[in-house]
Amino acid sequence: MALTESAPVGVAGLTRDRLRAMYRDMLLGRLLDQRVLVLNRQGRAPFAISGQGHEGAQVGVGYALRRDYDWIIPYYRDISLVLVMGMEPRDQLLAALAKAGDPNSGARQMPAHYSSRRHNIVTGGSPVATQILHAVGVAQAFKYRGEDRVVVATVGEGGTSEGDWHEGLNWAAIHRLPVIFLVENNGFAISVPQSLQMAVEHVADRAAGYGMPGVSVDGGDVLAVYRAASEAVDRARRGGGPTLLEAACVRLQSHSSDDDQRRYRSAEDLAEMRRHDPLERFRADLESSSILADGEADQIRQECQSLIDEAQAEADQAPAPDPDTALRYVYGEA
Ligand SMILES: Cc1ncc(C[n+]2csc(CCOP(=O)(O)OP(=O)(O)O)c2C)c(N)n1
């Protein structure tokens, strides 16, 4: 979108400071993601799964929520979303390096199973789409208690082929629960393209079948996502029920550190995808509307990079879990 339409005051009801903060959070997510991949290639982080290309969708939705009040049940690509909700680079580096202080799980879960009691982030299970049912349960509790909180569950388009997805959306619609189902549609489930997951063009086309609004938005446009998410959040808070929000994303990296997408995607496809990098798009829009001054993006990058360097230095020094605690939280408190 052209930011110049409403500059210099700001756009989408967001002040200039908030727009810059959005850019900073997208960039921090990107750089932290890159660092985890490097640690994986150095043989220090056992596994990495990247959110690069999803930052517009994640930050757009995160900014529509009330931090430490609303809840999220994220999936493994949501590195930028959990940063917006209050987690720190340090938290994710402790997890990547499997250190005892990892707040997600004390280094018991795989990396990218984000969790924070403090920030209302509920860990997902590894089977895809189980988080949908958990979110419906959380939303049911909000309604039962008469609270005006909302919960966002995120999932890939491949995950919407699971039974959990259908059961969850059906129940949420019947009971008009305050939940937003965010589908981060990057077109692939590992190597399986969307055309082999569903016979409709947009996941959101199915919303009418459940009886809820369905919105398909360009996930590369963080402000378009923010607007759509804000509407869905307002509706849910007012008792208007759930929304299926689909954000079209690009998966800039392979599925995970155990995958190589060059084996099943053409060089042309990969090059075309890179032209839709949400971070570059937002930076260009902010610069052309003078919301980011010349050189400001570089300065923000340096600040983010320093934050990540400090976080890594701290995580490097942090102790590994005590082997005697290996069974804690597995069968009960040891
Ligand atoms: C029930 C289940 N089946 C298979 C897997 C293995 N698996 C992990 S991620 C994934 C792909 C999911 O794709 P999608 O939902 O489109 O999300 P994306 O990874 O593209 O963001 C699969 C098949 C799993 N974790 N759980």
Mean pLDDT of the residues in the chain: 95
Cβ(190) – ligand 1 distance below 6 Å: yes
Ligand 1 atom, smallest distance to 54 CA: 21
Cβ(156) – ligand 1 distance below 6 Å: yes
Condensed to tens digits (0 to 9), the pLDDT of residues 182-194 reads 999 999 999 999 9
By alpha-carbon position, which residue is closest to atom 25 of ligand 1?
A: 127
Ligand 1 atom, smallest distance to 155 CA: 15
Q: Judge whether 66 counts as a catalytic residue.
A: no
Q: Which helix (H) or strand (E) holds 248?
A: strand 243-248
Cβ(218) – ligand 1 distance below 6 Å: no
Task: For residue 13, name the pLDDT band (cuts at 50, 70, 90).
Answer: confident
Decide if pLDDT at 1 tops 90: no
Cβ(115) – ligand 1 distance below 6 Å: no
CA of 189 to the centre of ligand 1 (A): 6
Condensed to tens digits (0 to 9), the pLDDT of residues 206-259 reads 999 999 999 999 999 999 999 999 999 999 999 999 999 999 999 999 999 999
DSSP notation for 53-78:
T-HHHHHHHHTTS-TTTSEEE--TT-
Cβ(193) – ligand 1 distance below 6 Å: no
Decide if pLDDT at 7 tops 90: no
Helices (H), 71-129: 79-84, 89-96
Decide if pLDDT at 274 tops 50: yes
Q: Judge whether 119 counts as a catalytic residue.
A: no
Decide if pLDDT at 92 tops 50: yes
Q: Judge whether 113 counts as a catalytic residue.
A: no
Task: For residue 330, name the pLDDT band (cuts at 50, 70, 90).
Answer: confident
At residue 152, the pLDDT reads 98
* Best mutation site among 190, 195, 246 for ligand 1 pocket (most ligand atoms within 8 Å of CB): 190
Identify the active-site residue in 20, 77, 90, 255.
255
Ligand 1 atom, smallest distance to 127 CA: 26
Cβ(196) – ligand 1 distance below 6 Å: no
Identify the active-site residue in 264, 281, 301, 328.
264
Cβ(187) – ligand 1 distance below 6 Å: no
Task: For residue 8, name the pLDDT band (cuts at 50, 70, 90).
Answer: very low
Task: For residue 3, name the pLDDT band (cuts at 50, 70, 90).
Answer: low
Largest CA-CA distance found in the chain, in angstroms, rounded:
61
Write the single-letter amino acid at 265: R
Please say whether the beta carbons of 243 and 210 come within 8 A. Answer: no
Collapse the DSSP code of 278 into the 3-class scheme (helix H, G, I; strand E, B; otherwise coil) and give the result: helix
CA of 296 to the centre of ligand 1 (A): 38
Higher pLDDT, 124 or 84: 84
Beta bridge partners of 247: 184, 217
- Cα–Cα distance between 24 and 285 in angstroms, integer? 14
- The dihedrals phi and psi of 117, each to the nearest 5 degrees, come to -60, -40
- The dihedrals phi and psi of 172, each to the nearest 5 degrees, come to -60, -35
| Mean pLDDT on 151-173 | 98
Please say whether the beta carbons of 317 and 40 come within 8 A. Answer: no
Burial (CB count within 10 angstroms: exposed 0-12, middle 13-18, buried 19+), residue 26: buried
CA of 56 to the centre of ligand 1 (A): 21
Structure tokens at 43: 């043989």
Task: For residue 63, name the pLDDT band (cuts at 50, 70, 90).
Answer: very high
Decide if pLDDT at 310 tops 70: yes
By alpha-carbon position, which residue is closest to atom 8 of ligand 1?
A: 128
Domains and CATH numbers, the chain: 13-317 (3.40.50.970)
- Cα–Cα distance between 164 and 66 in angstroms, integer? 27
CA of 206 to the centre of ligand 1 (A): 20
Ligand 1 atom, smallest distance to 184 CA: 21
At residue 4, the pLDDT reads 46
